[in-house]
Amino acid sequence: MTNEIELIKDPGLPAHVHRRADTDPKAAALAERQVAILFALSALGTLILIYSYIFIKDDVFVFIPVLGNTNVHQLGLGLGMAISLFCIGAGLIHWAKTLMPDEEVIAQRHEFRSEDEDREEFVKTVKAGASAAGLGRRPLIKRTLGAALGLTALPPILLLRDLGPLPGNDLSKTSWKKGTRLVTDPGDRPIRPEDLEVGAVAQTLPELAPGKERHLDDIAKDAVLLIRLRPEEFNLNAERLSWTHEGIIAFSKICSHMGCAVALYEQQTKHLLCPCHQSTFDVTRAAKVIFGPAARPLPQLNITVDEEGYLVAGAPFSEPVGPSFWERSS
């Protein structure tokens, strides 16, 4: 028996050690008082809440270190609630830990697997049930039932059809047309080139026809950012350069990645940055992506001035604005 390896043995559940409250009536009485105090504190918390709700005006502020200027009404409600709930919990647990029996109990487990006989019985029952229904013998019923049940899956899908209209070419068009004036957002004032200094940025929208209202759906596609540089700072091909006006260049403000507003302009580097995922676009090179997850430049809007000297779109956007979608061709 020399090469038989002997494992370390289970010493079994250690003997129970009594707590002080189990043996010392004084300790038990102390624990009882502690539990009672916790419950009383909870009641106090509820009173604080009620008092704050009724009597403290909501414009009283007090300075508390760490928290800063704090609204007393809010703090009273919250702390009162926190105290009233927490102390009930603390009391219950203290009670369980000091006064309720703490001797560990052993229960037995049983395997979940049914006895083999039961399993066989079960299979027999199912088979008997199936053959009583005659599923195997009546293939016609089986197949038509299958087809009918399968078809009932269609109506729920069909009935959801009116959740929305079909997209059509909606994702590809914006409100910008040849001659649409650029107006400030907010303010709706038309803009002359001289309103923008070199280095300035303006957020614009297409001018509304009289009596029309602007919807968020429109803004989600129409928002345009104007940036004025010195013309010699551009690094554009002839076509794109012709889309600028006196150093003013216009881009869709809707990120070509996931549609956030590309709102951060860094004047020194002439970079536009989308705060959502940090796609970075170089304004001097027609918003070419120089960093981040965006795969396409921001669409550039062709701008010029009308006879009154206000900035207008020289043409609609030449490509869809915003995030990509399946039907997009470029």
Partner 1 sequence: MTARERVAGNVAGYVDDRTGAAKWMKKNLTKVFPDHWSFLLGEICLYSFVILLLSGTFLTFWFDPSMKEVVYDGSYEPLKGLKMSAAYASTLDISFEVRGGLLMRQIHHWAALIFMVGIVVHLMRVYFTGAFRKPREFNWIIGVGLLTLGIVEGFLGYSLPDDLLSGTGIRIAEAIIQAIPVVGSYLAFFAFGGAFPGEAFIPRIYTVHILLLPGIFLALITVHLMLVWYQKHTQFPGPGRTEKNVVGYPLMPVYMAKAGGFFFIVFGVTAFLGAVASINPIWLYGPYTPAQVSAGSQPDWYMGWLDGLVRMAPPIETHALGYTISWNILIPGLIVPGIMFTGLALYPFIESWATGDKREHHLLDRPRNTPNRTAIGVMALTFTLVSLLNGGNDIIATTFHLTINQMMWFSRIAIIVLPPIAFVVTKRLCLSLQRADRDLVLHGRETGRLVRMPSGEFIEVHEPISAEKAWVLTSHEQLAPLELPEHDGAGVRRPGALKNKIRNRISRAAAVAVPKATETERRELEGHH
Using CB under 8 A as the binding rule, the residues of this chain from 133 to 162 that contact partner 1 are 160
19 belongs to the binding site for partner 1 (CB under 8 A): no
Is residue 17 a contact point for partner 1 (CB under 8 A)?
Answer: no
Beta bridge partners of 202: 226
What six digits make up the tokens of 156?
Answer: 């729920």
Using CB under 8 A, pick the residue from 60, 82, 133, 141 that binds partner 1. Answer: 82
Nearer to partner 1, 26 or 215 (CB): 215
Longest Cα separation, the chain:
110
Site for partner 1 in 186-225 (CB under 8 A): 203, 205, 216-217, 219-221, 223
Q: In this structure, which amino acid lies at residue 107?
A: A
Residues in contact with 12: Cβ distance below 8 Å, sequence separation at least 6, in sequence order: none
Q: Does 51 bind partner 1 (CB under 8 A)?
A: no
Three-state secondary-structure class, residue 229: coil
Restricting to residues 269-308, which ones interact with partner 1 according to CB under 8 A?
Answer: 273-279, 289, 291-296
Binding of residue 260 to partner 1 (CB under 8 A): yes
Minimum separation from the CB atom of position 153 to partner 1 (A): 17
Q: What is the torsional sign of CA 291, 293, 296, 300?
A: negative
Q: Which stretch binds partner 1 (CB under 8 A): 68-76, 117-125, 142-150, 230-238?
A: 68-76
What is the DSSP annotation of 138-207? -HHHHHHHHHHHHHTTHHHHHHTGGGS---TTGGG--S--TTPBEEETTT--B--GGGSPTT-EEEEEEP
Among 17, 23, 55, 67, which residue interacts with partner 1 (rule: CB under 8 A)? Answer: 67
Asked if 40 touches partner 1 (CB under 8 A), the answer is: no
Shortest spacing between CB 318 and partner 1, in angstroms: 15
Does 78 engage in binding with partner 1 (CB under 8 A)? yes
For residue 48, give both structure tokens: 């604080």
| Closer CB to partner 1, 30 or 92, in the complex | 92
